[in-house]
């Protein structure tokens, strides 16, 4: 029953949110709802009772599609991430002003429902449904509340991902007709015995969607623009949770179904990913806009995760799972910082910032923590994931690991660049009158920081949560 | 070559020549008249094929009623204008070439159509074209389409009214 | 005893947390008491552990699984053996002195920044302790990167000065380059052995192929290059002098930079089994020693001289490691920690007195104003120069002797470096303390000896610099007198078993010691004479001197062959490739669609005639396709 | 008469009709050409009707096979008549508004 | 049979009602009642209560599917009356006649869903077409309307000629107009044994491509849809087109009607070309109405998949597609008619002034674009699924989805104009609450079908 709650609490909360009039009520309502979802998701990760982790109902009997949602280790973790992310976002952006507040929060909550659905669905058609369901509110969020070039940029984003998901739809149909019982259920898909050609067909069709969503080089160009132009709250969700959809898809919907194809395409995909990692890191060095910088940094991180998945080593996969969570937390932290800066100073340009540590020491300290989590310093959460992932890539191919490893140097360069240009030096016009962050931002950043450190020192609970999922993927 | 054959060839040539003249006449009135000639030739064929009812109907309905309607309309519009400015020469050539190709393809297809070899259309004999038999069939087996065609007429009538009525 | 191990890093951590979180509420004296007290507590525990280890051998403690997945199990475990307990003493001991010193040195800071400073220092000690206490390479790596972080924070402590933050960034990034090597070595170990715990790795070292060992050791050494500032990754260290002087003393002289030595000494068995890597280390170490020393000759910034001297001394240590003199290297780490900390703190005292003037050309004659500083500094100089019987003499001698045994050429070069060391140290000494004061009158007016909190550490360290060498008196003087070698022997036993020790004859050793001492003394006197009455001279930095004064233009070289190309390349990627090629392709598809739309709609020209013409054409096409259907179908089947 | 002759004849007439549609601009002439096409079809249908009837007569003297084609022709005429009434009404309406029945004149709607 | 007779009668009633009353609202009311009677009659027949039993001599055959389709069409017409009834009143003076003509079209539709021979097929098509020529030209003063009407008429008659030639050839080869009988005769491999029958079928095929406005025989569509009064464009592009498709499939669903191996090839060609022309050309349009005309071409491209695969899935699909497509398009047109300016800019800022219109229009457009959670998604889904099931080359399906993605471009341009652009969309008229309610109801239906298409499908199998 829990999975259903996880999906439908945000749906109803979102629909109700549309009807609310008062701005503060809406914000409070959204926060309350996200807290309830958070509580539910904590319940979800602690339970193992099949009655509460699985829900199955008829949906489209004639098509062989059922409304099946269930929790396994991986989805538990991602559900938790989604819940945490939304709570953090709502807390951190509480002071942001939006026109049509009710609609904004309504759409945000609907996005949450979509994301939950993606992570929970074990029926492929349902998965596809939620996949798109998560996208549409985001389209409106970005187009209505975004920056100057929002319409064109969001549209590019939408078309890009939509093309991808249509390919996936063809792939889903392709596999569906190969299943013996004409069913969309995950188990039928897992029980498929496919020839190499069939696997390759299915792989290519699915992977385009996932690759665009992640995104991996060279399909990434929608992302920096979209991140830059979206309202920050949405950007947080986009980069914190939504990009995980692609990785999640590969792990859950590709890896066990088309192992031969994965094996066959592993090398090219990994090379692309590694190129993307370096490419994005190098571009990040030159970025002047904080949001774009974080965007490229995110592309680099995701590229590494993609490479790790395709190494097909269970240690790397474990790393990816952990990193999905950790990257989500970290990048949201960075966005909160970016948002705090933009809200207060009205600029995101590194060249217009400087010396903020003088006027906003709390923000500076917390940002430094985020920054070092971003460069995967040991004892921050990101280290564990990267450590395991690099291990796996290393097992697959030493040279790839070595080349990808350059990114840990480049990551230090661009991240520290950012910290330096924002916080160090003497104050400039933009930062002279800045005041330190308010309690909301402080609270959310502190939570993030605590998560970063706690998971950096005690990653084992997260590993234990997802261990079985990784194991199952390789047993199949 | 018997008389029937001679008639067949005569009517065929007449139909074709008249049809061509429909195209070639500059004056639309002449076109109408040539078309009537075509209809007459075709009616002649019907008679040869012993489809007397259709021959008559063709004359009355087509050559008579419909063509007269055409004539009225043309007269109404302005009989004296040396009608249309000719179409762009290239377009005409293109049209003729396309038509020629189509005809060539048709002919080659019919030539290949071996299932039609040794089949003939019965001339002068047979009674299915007789009005009695047709009438019987029309009011027994084909009563439904017959009735339904009234809907067609009705809609055409309503249509003509809607279009023609002055606001 | 193993139950109290965790206390060692815990105290600094607590100190860090209290000072870090309470920086708004705590008063300055309280802050310094908390910070110093934490380190002192650690020191006491370290002493207890040291005694325990000395008596009963190594102890270890595992706390929780840091990473436990499939066959990779990495516990969060500490291992205290002879090597690490020695380092513990150095770190906490010198750390405490430096904390004490800092409490006075940093008194001008606001309490807010004061607390931040001490929090960073405590965090640094914590990381350094993790580095040396860890029972496996991953825990070591945590500390390894942790000290990099703290170094970054402390170098950039005065963050308002943007140049300092550049230095901090440079330090971190260069360290990271090395860290990548370290990390790859760890992966290699996990991949080949499935474990990173020292005990298991060293026990299973025979399972590794020769190539594996060579690669692993090389990669680890690359890590050490970054952390211990060896060629080519040394340039961050001189720049790191941007941090407060006690920081330089603690991090960039006494502790962090020796992490590389510690790591290699720790992995001695691997290195012993990889003679190629050892040779490589020896060459790099020696080259660094000479190169840095040559630069130090012409530096005018008091801290820069010491910084290059540190790089140079680290080179000696690597030389020692490279020639298999592990004990010697560790010994030199220890003595170097004493005298280099002393020198830095002394320099700090001078700077303090000079109101943050660091240019030695503008000093001079400070002898009479700063007596304690002067005496202790002189002792430090003598120690670093290797004058018997100061501590530096013993440790340096041990390394050079071992080098001679390996290859006399190494020794000769090493000796040349030692001479340079004595020259630039006494140049420094003479310019600072001798002659006439060359600063402004205002500075002269304010010159005074530093407070007690600063001079006590100086005195303690001076004492240690003087007597510290006696724990490792060479065999040649007295048999079984090398206490350190004896103490550390369990660590290096496995390596020792693999190498036949070729002892030099006593006469050779005596000759070497005699010659070197004589040469050093000559150099010292030369420098003393030359610079005791120094007058600034415009034309002195010409030709070769200019090259040295500008540090061989290495920074500029790096800038033009590495940094600039990368910048240009990223600029190219950002502005051309990303914008025009990749995004251009995406947008190009969009534009193509729109353009084709513009063209395609022209077919819809509004003319019935052409519509029908097209239809007729397609009817012909359809008929044709139908006639030739098999051919076309076959064609398409081939196509797809 | 061999059926091919009729087929050729009908198809030729049909094609002439098509060519007329393609080459003329006068809406009424185009319409007439379409009527010509319909007549070609009618002729073909009647010929086929007699062909099938002839085949059937061999076995059954009173066979009515093929009568449906003749009735089909009848219905085609019905439809044609209806079409003519509507079509001419449209042409007249057009003429009233534009004083032209040139189809090339009809190009407000394009692209 | 109920549907055919009742719709013809309803037409007559409407025709006469114009004589007795001039009140347009009364006429509209009568038409709605007549339509409800029609629906009832059809539903009754579906469940075996045929009130008028006529022996059709095997010329008509009433199948369940056909009757269901009738119902769907009638319901769509009902929706159309509800949403656009007011617009029909305003389209001209001959309101009663317009309704009559619409009912005659419905009669044609009913024939097309039940024909069992080429004769009835032909009559059905003609009954369907002739009223449309008139409706297209019903705005007599408007030159565009005139032009559209004449173009439609000329080209429509031309395609009728083609169809008749096809029928004649088929008859020549088989001696029969009946679908079943013809089927028996041509059940052998046409390639070896015959030429005339397949060529004839090819002609019928082409003329049907014309009717459903598939490329390369689509040329009439944009001009006619653009020129016709919007309210009738709405009718033509939805209800009539869907019926055309049903007839098309009905005609070619028996396997024996096979054009040989190239059959699929030609169809593939038509599908790809239709999608290409429809989608690509729609992008550059400035007028939303004309864009919708092209979009209807592209939708036809998708619907052609049902012909390509001709399996049960395809048939289910065409039902869903019809509902999804018709409802959405009718809705979009109903809103379009309220606007002063038919260009994209005319929609600027509609969300601010008319949130309900903007929202429902968004739902309709999303459905047209085939975004999940709307009925349109399942329409496309079924089409693609049936094609994959029928073993279509994956390339073809991929091409189709790529074009679907392109279609998002122009549909979303409207959404962008409504929500994200500044402006004051001007309306012709006040929007009555009842209209808004109806729009919302239909939007909800579209979403419900988008989530539970099974409800519709189950009803089919009931």
For residues D69 and E168, what is the distance between their CA atoms, to the nearest angstrom?
Answer: 8
Q: Is D71 in contact with B142 (Cβ distance < 8 A)?
A: yes
Domain range summary for chain E, segments of one domain joined by +: 261-462
For residues E121 and E304, what is the distance between their CA atoms, to the nearest angstrom?
Answer: 19
Per-residue pLDDT reduced to its tens digit, D9-19: 999 999 999 99
Give the distance from residue E441's alpha carbon to the nearest chain C alpha carbon, in angstroms: 36
Q: Is D86 in contact with E123 (Cβ distance < 8 A)?
A: no
Asked if the model's pLDDT at residue A368 lies above 70, the reply is: yes
> Which pLDDT does position C411 carry in this prediction?
87
Q: Determine the average pLDDT of the residues in A274-296.
A: 91
* Local structure of C284: helix, strand or coil: helix
What are the residues of chain C with a beta carbon less than 8 Å away from any beta carbon of chain D?
Answer: 601-602, 604-609, 612-613, 616
- Annotate A392-404 with b (16+ C-beta within 10 A) or e (fewer): bbbbbbeebbbbb
Query: H or E segment at C513?
Result: helix C506-532
Facing C606 at nearest CB: one of D22, D30, D109: D109
> Which pLDDT does position C638 carry in this prediction?
67
Asked if the model's pLDDT at residue E55 lies above 80, the reply is: no
Q: Is D103 in contact with E222 (Cβ distance < 8 A)?
A: no
* For helices A314-345 and A73-92, angle between their N-to-C axes, nearest 10 degrees: 10
* Local structure of C350: helix, strand or coil: helix
Tell me what the pLDDT averaged over chain D comes to. 89
Count of structural domains, chain A: 1
User: Does some domain include residue A30?
Assistant: no
For residues A94 and A80, what is the distance between their CA atoms, to the nearest angstrom?
Answer: 21
DSSP string, A396-427: H-HHHHHHHHHHHHHHHHHHHHHHHHHHSSS-
Look up residue C406 and give its two tokens: 């390996």
Asked if the model's pLDDT at residue A469 lies above 70, the reply is: yes
Per-residue pLDDT reduced to its tens digit, A214-224: 888 888 888 88
Contact exists between E and B (3 or more beta carbon pairs < 8 Å): yes
Task: Using alpha carbons only, give the angle C262, C267, C272 rounded to the nearest 5 degrees.
Answer: 120
For residues E270 and C552, what is the distance between their CA atoms, to the nearest angstrom?
Answer: 75
How does residue E140 score in pLDDT terms, banded at 50, 70 and 90?
A: confident
Q: How many residues does chain D have?
A: 111
Task: Using alpha carbons only, give the angle B41, B43, B44 rounded to the nearest 5 degrees.
Answer: 60
For residues A312 and A305, what is the distance between their CA atoms, to the nearest angstrom?
Answer: 12
Assign 3-state DSSP to chain C and report helix, strand, coil percentages, each to 5. 80, 5, 20
> Which pLDDT does position C502 carry in this prediction?
66
Per-residue pLDDT reduced to its tens digit, C276-307: 898 999 999 999 999 888 888 888 888 888 88
Against chain C, the chains showing at least 3 CB pairs within 8 Å are A, B, D, E
Instruction: Of A155-169, C495-509, D29-43, E227-241, give the lowest mean pLDDT range.
Output: C495-509
Facing E144 at nearest CB: one of D82, D87, D109: D109
Same domain, yes or no, for C51 and C152? no
Instruction: Of C347-351, E269-273, E435-439, give the lowest mean pLDDT range.
Output: C347-351
Find the closest chain C residue to A278 by CA distance: C570
E184 in contact with C at a CB cutoff of 8 Å? no
Tell me what the pLDDT averaged over chain E comes to. 87
Residues 583-602 of C with CB under 8 A from A: 583, 585-587, 590
Torsion of Cα atoms, E144 then E145 then E150 then E152, to 10° = 100
Per-residue pLDDT reduced to its tens digit, A52-74: 888 888 888 878 888 999 888 88
CATH number of the domain at B3-127, please? Answer: 1.20.120.1200
Tell me if C241 sits within 8 A of C157, measured CB to CB: no
Give the distance from residue E420's alpha carbon to the nearest chain A alpha carbon, in angstroms: 6
Helix ranges restricted to H, C354-469: 371-385, 391-406, 408-433, 441-446, 452-467
Chain A residues whose CB is inside 8 A of the C582 CB are 218, 220-221
Look up residue E353 and give its two tokens: 């002034």
> Which pLDDT does position E185 carry in this prediction?
45
Task: Name the burial class of residue B2, with classes exposed (0-12), middle (13-18) and buried (19+) by CB atoms within 10 angstroms of its CB.
Answer: exposed
Q: Is E385 in contact with A133 (Cβ distance < 8 A)?
A: no
> Which pLDDT does position E187 carry in this prediction?
36
Query: H or E segment at C75?
Result: strand C72-80
For residues E362 and E353, what is the distance between their CA atoms, to the nearest angstrom?
Answer: 15
Domain range summary for chain D, segments of one domain joined by +: 3-105
Q: Is B98 in contact with C616 (Cβ distance < 8 A)?
A: yes
Find the closest chain D residue to E126 by CA distance: D79
Count the alpha carbons within 13 Å of C489 in the hemisphere toward its beta carbon: 8
Residues 94-113 of E with CB under 8 A from C: none
Q: Provide Rg for chain A, Cα atoms.
A: 21
> Which pLDDT does position E191 carry in this prediction?
42
Asked if the model's pLDDT at residue D45 lies above 90, the reply is: yes
Count of structural domains, chain C: 4
Look up residue E367 and give its two tokens: 């459905």
- How many percent of chain A have pLDDT more than 70? 100
For residues C501 and C324, what is the distance between their CA atoms, to the nearest angstrom?
Answer: 10
Per-residue pLDDT reduced to its tens digit, C126-159: 999 999 998 889 999 999 999 889 989 888 888 8
Facing A128 at nearest CB: one of E372, E397, E421: E372
Q: Is B158 in contact with E97 (Cβ distance < 8 A)?
A: yes
How does residue A403 score in pLDDT terms, banded at 50, 70 and 90?
A: very high
Q: Shortest CA distance to A324 belongs to which of A416, A250, A432, A241?
A: A241
> Which pLDDT does position C361 carry in this prediction?
81
Contact exists between E and A (3 or more beta carbon pairs < 8 Å): yes
How does residue E190 score in pLDDT terms, banded at 50, 70 and 90?
A: very low
Q: Residue A330: give the domain boundaries.
A: 266-476
* For helices E24-46 and E2-20, angle between their N-to-C axes, nearest 10 degrees: 170
Residues 9-28 of B with CB under 8 A from D: 12, 15-16, 19-20, 22-23, 28
What CATH class is the domain D3-105? mainly alpha
Q: Is E397 in contact with A140 (Cβ distance < 8 A)?
A: no
Which residues are within 8 A (CB) of E128 and not within 5 positions of it... i.e. 6 or more apart? E105, E108, E109, E112, E240, E243, E244
Give the distance from residue C590's alpha carbon to the nearest chain D alpha carbon, in angstroms: 20
Q: Is D50 in contact with B92 (Cβ distance < 8 A)?
A: no
Q: Shortest CA distance to B46 belongs to which of B57, B61, B33, B36?
A: B57
For residues E273 and E403, what is the distance between their CA atoms, to the nearest angstrom?
Answer: 11
> Which pLDDT does position A475 carry in this prediction?
65
Chain B residues whose CB is inside 8 A of the C616 CB are 98-99, 102
Asked if the model's pLDDT at residue E174 lies above 50, the reply is: yes
How does residue A279 score in pLDDT terms, banded at 50, 70 and 90?
A: very high
Task: Name the burial class of residue E361, with classes exposed (0-12), middle (13-18) and buried (19+) by CB atoms within 10 angstroms of its CB.
Answer: buried
Q: Is D50 in contact with B57 (Cβ distance < 8 A)?
A: no
Asked if the model's pLDDT at residue E188 lies above 60, the reply is: no
Domain range summary for chain B, segments of one domain joined by +: 3-127, 130-167
Query: H or E segment at C69?
Result: strand C59-69
Query: Quick one: residue A289, left, alpha or beta (phi over 0 = left, psi -120 to 50 = alpha)?
Result: beta
Asked if the model's pLDDT at residue A466 lies above 90, the reply is: no
* Local structure of E310: helix, strand or coil: coil
Find the closest chain B residue to C623 by CA distance: B105
- How many percent of chain E have pLDDT more than 70? 94
How does residue E183 score in pLDDT terms, banded at 50, 70 and 90?
A: very low
Count the alpha carbons within 13 Å of C114 in the hemisphere toward its beta carbon: 23
Torsion of Cα atoms, A78 then A81 then A82 then A84, to 10° = 160
Tell me what the pLDDT averaged over chain A comes to. 89
Per-residue pLDDT reduced to its tens digit, C58-92: 888 888 888 888 778 888 889 888 888 889 988 89
Residues 33-52 of D with CB under 8 A from E: 34, 37-38, 40-41, 44-45, 48-49, 51-52
Residues 100-139 of A with CB under 8 A from E: 128-129, 132-133, 136
Look up residue C74 and give its two tokens: 């990495």
Chain E residues whose CB is inside 8 A of the B139 CB are none
Q: Determine the average pLDDT of the residues in E364-370.
A: 92
Residue D84 CB neighbours (<10 A): 25
* ipTM score over 0.85, yes or no: yes
Tell me what the pLDDT averaged over chain C comes to. 86
Give the distance from residue D66's alpha carbon to the nearest chain C alpha carbon, in angstroms: 27
For residues E104 and E314, what is the distance between their CA atoms, to the nearest angstrom?
Answer: 28
Give the distance from residue B88's alpha carbon to the nearest chain C alpha carbon, in angstroms: 11
How does residue C406 score in pLDDT terms, banded at 50, 70 and 90?
A: confident
> Which pLDDT does position E78 carry in this prediction?
92
For residues E457 and E462, what is the distance between their CA atoms, to the nearest angstrom?
Answer: 9
Chain B residues whose CB is inside 8 A of the D68 CB are 137, 141-142
How does residue E232 score in pLDDT terms, banded at 50, 70 and 90?
A: very high
* Local structure of C79: helix, strand or coil: strand
Same domain, yes or no, for C538 and C631? no
Same domain, yes or no, for C336 and C391? yes
User: Does some domain include residue A306?
Assistant: yes
Tell me if E277 sits within 8 A of E297, measured CB to CB: yes
Q: Shortest CA distance to C233 belongs to which of C247, C221, C249, C245?
A: C221
Contact exists between C and D (3 or more beta carbon pairs < 8 Å): yes
User: Does some domain include residue A370?
Assistant: yes
For residues C387 and C518, what is the distance between their CA atoms, to the nearest angstrom?
Answer: 9
> Which pLDDT does position A47 carry in this prediction?
82
Helices and strands in chain B: count of H runs, count of E runs: 7, 0
CA distances from D7 to B113, E116, E157 (A): 11, 26, 22
Q: Determine the average pLDDT of the residues in E415-442.
A: 88
User: Does some domain include residue A440?
Assistant: yes
* Local structure of E178: helix, strand or coil: strand
Q: Residue C423: give the domain boundaries.
A: 136-549
Which of B159-163, E42-46, E300-304 tops mean pLDDT? E300-304
Q: For residue C473, which phi and psi values (nearest 5 degrees)?
A: -70, 130
Q: Shortest CA distance to A78 belongs to which of A122, A111, A45?
A: A45
Chain D residues whose CB is inside 8 A of the B85 CB are 25, 102
Contact exists between B and A (3 or more beta carbon pairs < 8 Å): no
Q: Is C166 in contact with A160 (Cβ distance < 8 A)?
A: no
Q: For residue A289, which phi and psi values (nearest 5 degrees)?
A: -95, 125
> Which pLDDT does position E160 carry in this prediction?
94
Q: How many residues does chain B have?
A: 167
- DSSP secondary-structure letter at E93? S
Which residues are within 8 A (CB) of A227 and not within 5 positions of it... i.e. 6 or more apart? A235, A238, A239, A291, A292, A294, A295, A298
E366 in contact with A at a CB cutoff of 8 Å? yes
Better-predicted residue by pLDDT, A211 or C362: A211
Look up residue A408 and give its two tokens: 């840990």
For residues B49 and B128, what is the distance between their CA atoms, to the nearest angstrom?
Answer: 10
Asked if the model's pLDDT at residue E189 lies above 60, the reply is: no
Task: Name the burial class of residue C562, with classes exposed (0-12), middle (13-18) and buried (19+) by CB atoms within 10 angstroms of its CB.
Answer: exposed
- How many percent of chain C have pLDDT more than 90? 11
Same domain, yes or no, for C541 and C554? no
For residues C233 and C176, what is the distance between their CA atoms, to the nearest angstrom?
Answer: 10
Look up residue A138 and give its two tokens: 């985001």
Which residues are within 8 A (CB) of A115 and not within 5 positions of it... i.e. 6 or more apart? A82, A130, A134, A237, A241, A242, A245
For residues E347 and A55, what is the distance between their CA atoms, to the nearest angstrom?
Answer: 44
Q: Is C608 in contact with E266 (Cβ distance < 8 A)?
A: no
Which residues are within 8 A (CB) of C632 and not within 5 positions of it... i.e. 6 or more apart? C625, E262, E265
E385 in contact with A at a CB cutoff of 8 Å? yes
Q: Is A173 in contact with E401 (Cβ distance < 8 A)?
A: no
Facing E388 at nearest CB: one of A143, A144, A173: A173
Chain A residues whose CB is inside 8 A of the C69 CB are 314-315, 318, 388, 463, 467
């Amino acid at each position: 029953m829990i999975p259903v709650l996880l999906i439908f609490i945000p749906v109803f909360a979102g629909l109700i949110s549309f009807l609310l009039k008062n701005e503060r009520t809406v914000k409070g309502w959204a926060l309350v709802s996200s807290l309830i979802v958070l509580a539910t998701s904590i319940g979800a990760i602690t339970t193992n009772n099949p009655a509460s982790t699985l829900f199955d109902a008829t949906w489209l009997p004639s098509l062989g599609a059922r409304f099946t949602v269930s929790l396994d280790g991986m989805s538990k973790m991602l559900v938790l991430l989604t819940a945490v992310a939304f709570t953090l976002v709502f807390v951190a952006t509480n002071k942001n002003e939006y026109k049509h507040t009710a609609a904004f929060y309504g759409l945000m909550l609907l996005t949450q429902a979509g994301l939950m659905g993606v992570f929970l669905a074990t029926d492929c058609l349902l998965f596809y449904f939620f996949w798109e369901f998560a996208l549409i509110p985001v389209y409106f969020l970005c187009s209505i509340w975004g920056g100057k070039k929002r319409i064109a940029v969001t549209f590019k984003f939408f078309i890009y991902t939509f093309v991808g998901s249509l390919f996936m739809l063809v792939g889903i149909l392709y596999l569906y007709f190969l299943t013996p019982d004409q069913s969309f259920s995950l188990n039928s898909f897992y029980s498929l015995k496919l020839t190499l050609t069939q696997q390759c067909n299915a792989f290519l069709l699915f992977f385009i969607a996932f690759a665009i969503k992640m995104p991996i080089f060279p399909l990434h160009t929608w992302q920096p623009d979209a991140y830059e132009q979206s309202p920050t709250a949405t950007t947080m969700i986009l980069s914190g949770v939504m990009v995980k959809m692609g990785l999640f898809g590969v792990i859950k919907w590709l890896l066990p179904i088309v192992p031969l194809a994965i094996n066959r395409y592993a090398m090219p995909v990994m090379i692309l990913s590694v190129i993307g990692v370096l490419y994005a890191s190098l571009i990040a060095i030159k970025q002047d806009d904080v949001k774009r910088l974080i965007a490229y940094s995110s592309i680099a991180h995701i590229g590494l995760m993609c490479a790790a998945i395709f190494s097909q080593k269970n240690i790397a996969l474990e790393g990816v799972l952990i990193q999905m969570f950790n990257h989500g937390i970290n990048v949201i932290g960075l966005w909160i910082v970016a948002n705090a800066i933009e809200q207060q100073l009205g600029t995101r340009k590194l060249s217009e910032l400087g010396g903020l540590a003088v006027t906003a020491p709390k923000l500076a300290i917390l940002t430094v923590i985020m920054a070092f989590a971003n460069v995967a310093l040991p004892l921050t959460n990101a280290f564990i994931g990267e450590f395991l992932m690099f291990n796996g890539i290393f097992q697959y191919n030493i040279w790839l690991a070595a080349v990808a490893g350059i990114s840990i140097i480049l990551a230090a360069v661009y991240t520290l660049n950012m910290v330096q240009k924002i916080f160090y030096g003497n104050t400039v016009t933009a930062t002279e009158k800045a005041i330190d962050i308010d309690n909301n931002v402080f609270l959310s950043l502190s939570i993030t920081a605590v998560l970063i450190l706690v998971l950096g020192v005690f990653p084992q609970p997260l590993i234990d949560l997802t261990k079985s999922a990784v194991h199952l993927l390789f047993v199949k | 070559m018997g008389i029937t054959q001679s008639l067949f060839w005569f009517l065929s040539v007449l139909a074709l020549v008249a049809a061509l003249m429909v195209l070639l006449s500059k004056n639309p009135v002449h076109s109408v008249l040539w078309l009537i000639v075509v209809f007459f030739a075709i009616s002649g064929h019907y008679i040869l094929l012993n489809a007397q009812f259709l021959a008559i109907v063709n004359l009355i309905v087509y050559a008579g009623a419909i063509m007269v309607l055409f004539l009225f309309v043309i007269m109404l519009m302005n009989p004296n204008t040396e009608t249309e400015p000719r179409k762009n020469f290239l377009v005409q050539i293109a049209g003729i070439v396309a038509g020629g190709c189509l005809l060539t393809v048709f002919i080659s297809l019919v030539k290949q159509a071996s299932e039609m070899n040794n089949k003939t259309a019965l001339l002068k004999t047979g009674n299915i074209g007789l009005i009695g038999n047709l009438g019987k069939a029309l009011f027994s087996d084909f009563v439904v389409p017959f009735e339904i065609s009234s809907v067609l007429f009705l809609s055409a009538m309503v249509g003509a009214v809607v279009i023609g009525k002055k606001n | 005893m193993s139950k109290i191990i965790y206390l060692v890093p815990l105290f600094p951590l607590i100190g860090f947390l209290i000072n870090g979180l309470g920086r708004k509420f705590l008063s300055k004296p309280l802050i310094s008491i908390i910070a110093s007290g934490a380190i002192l507590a650690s020191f006491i525990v370290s002493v207890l552990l040291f005694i325990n280890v000395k008596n009963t051998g190594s102890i270890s403690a595992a706390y929780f699984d840091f990473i436990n997945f499939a066959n990779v199990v990495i516990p969060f475990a500490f291992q205290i053996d002879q090597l690490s307990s020695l380092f513990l003493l150095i770190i906490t001991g010198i750390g405490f002195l430096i904390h004490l010193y800092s409490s006075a040195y940093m008194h001008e800071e606001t309490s807010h920044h004061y607390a931040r400073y001490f929090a960073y220092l405590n965090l640094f000690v914590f990381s350094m302790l993790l580095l040396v206490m860890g029972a496996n390479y991953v825990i070591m790596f945590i500390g390894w990167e942790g000290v990099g972080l703290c170094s970054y924070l402390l170098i950039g402590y005065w963050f308002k000065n943007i140049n300092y933050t550049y230095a901090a960034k440079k330090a971190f990034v260069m360290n990271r380059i090395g860290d990548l090597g370290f990390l790859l070595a760890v992966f290699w170990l996990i991949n080949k052995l499935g474990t990173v715990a020292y005990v298991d790795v060293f026990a299973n070292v025979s399972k590794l192929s020769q190539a594996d060992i060579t690669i692993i050791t090389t990669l680890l050494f690359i890590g050490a290059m970054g952390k211990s500032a060896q060629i080519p990754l040394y340039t961050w260290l001189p720049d790191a002098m941007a941090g407060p002087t006690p920081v330089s003393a603690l991090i960039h002289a006494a502790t962090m930079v020796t992490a590389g030595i510690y790591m290699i000494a720790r992995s001695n068995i691997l290195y012993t089994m990889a003679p190629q890597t050892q040779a490589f280390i020896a060459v790099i170490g020696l080259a660094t020693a000479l190169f840095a020393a040559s630069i130090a000759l012409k530096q005018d910034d008091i801290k820069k001289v010491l910084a290059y001297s540190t790089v140079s001394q680290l080179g000696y240590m690597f030389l020692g490691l490279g020639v298999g003199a592990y004990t010697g290297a560790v010994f030199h780490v220890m003595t170097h920690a004493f005298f280099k900390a002393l020198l830095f703190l002394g320099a700090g005292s001078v700077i303090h007195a000079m109101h943050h003037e660091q240019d030695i050309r503008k000093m001079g004659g400070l002898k009479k104003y700063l007596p304690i500083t002067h005496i202790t500094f002189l002792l430090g100089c003598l120690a670093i120069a290797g004058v018997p019987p100061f501590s530096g003499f013993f440790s340096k001698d041990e390394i050079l002797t071992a080098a001679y045994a390996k290859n006399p050429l190494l020794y000769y070069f090493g000796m040349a470096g030692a001479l340079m060391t004595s020259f630039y140290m006494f140049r420094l000494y003479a310019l600072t303390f001798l002659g006439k004061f060359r600063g402004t009158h205002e500075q002269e007016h304010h010159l005074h000896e530093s407070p007690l909190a600063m001079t006590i550490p100086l005195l303690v360290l001076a004492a240690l610099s003087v007597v510290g060498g006696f724990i490792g008196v060479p065999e040649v003087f007295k048999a079984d007198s090398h206490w350190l070698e004896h103490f550390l022997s369990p660590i290096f036993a496995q390596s020792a078993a693999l190498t036949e020790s070729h002892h030099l004859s006593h006469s050779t050793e005596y000759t070497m010691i005699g010659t070197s001492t004589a040469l050093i003394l000559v150099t010292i006197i030369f420098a003393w004479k030359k610079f005791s009455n120094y007058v600034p001279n415009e034309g002195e930095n010409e030709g070769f001197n200019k090259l040295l004064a500008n540090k061989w233009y290495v920074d500029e070289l790096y800038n033009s062959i590495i940094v600039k190309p990368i910048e240009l390349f990223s600029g190219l990627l950002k502005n051309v490739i990303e914008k025009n090629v990749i995004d251009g392709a995406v947008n190009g598809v969009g534009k193509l669609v729109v353009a084709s739309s513009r063209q395609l709609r022209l077919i819809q020209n509004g003319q019935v005639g052409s519509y029908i013409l097209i239809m007729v054409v397609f009817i012909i096409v359809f008929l044709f396709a139908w006639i030739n259907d098999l051919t076309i179908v076959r064609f398409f089947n081939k196509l797809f | 008469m061999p059926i091919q002759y009729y087929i050729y004849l009908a198809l030729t007439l049909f094609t002439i009709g098509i060519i007329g549609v393609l080459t003329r601009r006068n809406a009424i002439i185009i319409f007439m050409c379409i009527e010509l096409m319909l007549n070609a079809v009618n002729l073909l249908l009647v010929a086929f009707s007699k062909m099938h009837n002839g085949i059937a007569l061999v076995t059954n003297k009173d066979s009515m096979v093929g009568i449906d084609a003749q009735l089909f022709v009848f219905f085609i005429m019905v439809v044609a008549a209806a079409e003519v009434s509507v079509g001419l009404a449209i042409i007249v309406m057009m003429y009233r508004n534009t004083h032209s029945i040139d189809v090339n004149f009809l190009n407000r709607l394009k692209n | 049979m109920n549907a055919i007779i009742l719709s013809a009668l309803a037409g007559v009633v409407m025709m006469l009602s114009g004589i007795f009353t001039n009140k347009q609202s009364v006429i509209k009311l009568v038409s709605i009642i007549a339509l409800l009677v029609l629906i009832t009659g059809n539903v009754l027949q579906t469940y075996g209560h045929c009130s008028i039993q006529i022996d059709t001599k095997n010329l008509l055959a009433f199948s369940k599917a056909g009757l269901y389709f009738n119902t769907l069409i009638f319901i769509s017409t009902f929706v159309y009356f509800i949403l656009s009834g007011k617009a029909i009143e305003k389209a001209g003076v001959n309101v009663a006649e317009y309704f009559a003509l619409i009912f005659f079209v419905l009669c044609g539709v009913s024939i097309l869903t039940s024909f069992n021979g080429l004769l009835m097929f032909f009559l059905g098509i003609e009954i369907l077409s002739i009223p449309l020529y008139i409706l297209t030209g019903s705005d007599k003063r408007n030159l565009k309307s005139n032009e559209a009407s004449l173009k439609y008429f000329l080209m429509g008659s031309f395609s009728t000629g083609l169809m008749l030639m096809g029928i004649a050839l088929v008859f020549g080869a088989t001696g029969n107009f009946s679908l079943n009988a013809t089927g028996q005769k041509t059940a052998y491999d046409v390639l070896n044994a015959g030429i005339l029958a397949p060529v004839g079928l090819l002609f019928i095929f082409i003329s049907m491509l014309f009717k459903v406005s598939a490329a390369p025989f689509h040329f009439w569509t944009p001009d006619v849809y653009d020129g016709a009064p919007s309210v009738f464009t709405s009718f033509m592009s939805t209800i009539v087109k869907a019926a055309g498709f049903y007839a098309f499939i009905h005609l070619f669903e028996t396997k024996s009607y096979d054009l040989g191996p190239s059959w699929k090839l030609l169809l593939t060609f038509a599908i790809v070309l239709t999608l290409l022309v429809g989608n690509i050309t729609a992008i550059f349009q400035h007028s939303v109405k004309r864009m919708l005309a092209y979009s209807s071409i592209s939708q036809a491209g998708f619907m052609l998949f049902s012909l390509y695969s001709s399996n049960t899935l395809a048939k289910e699909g065409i039902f869903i597609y019809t509902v999804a497509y018709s409802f959405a398009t009718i809705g979009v047109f109903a809103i379009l008619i309220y606007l002063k300016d038919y260009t994209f800019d005319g929609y600027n800022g509609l969300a601010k002034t008319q949130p309900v219109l903007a929202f429902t229009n968004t739902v309709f457009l999303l459905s047209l674009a085939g975004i999940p959670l709307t009925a349109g998604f399942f329409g496309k889904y079924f089409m693609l699924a049936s094609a994959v099931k029928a073993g279509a080359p994956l390339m073809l399906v991929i091409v189709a989805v790529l074009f679907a993605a392109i279609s998002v471009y122009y549909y979303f341009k409207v959404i962008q104009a409504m929500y994200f652009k500044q402006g004051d969309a001007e309306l012709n008229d006040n929007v009555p609450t009842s209209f808004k309610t109806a729009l919302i109801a239909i939007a909800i239906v579209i979403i419900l079908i988008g989530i539970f298409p099974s409800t519709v499908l189950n009803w089919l199998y009931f």
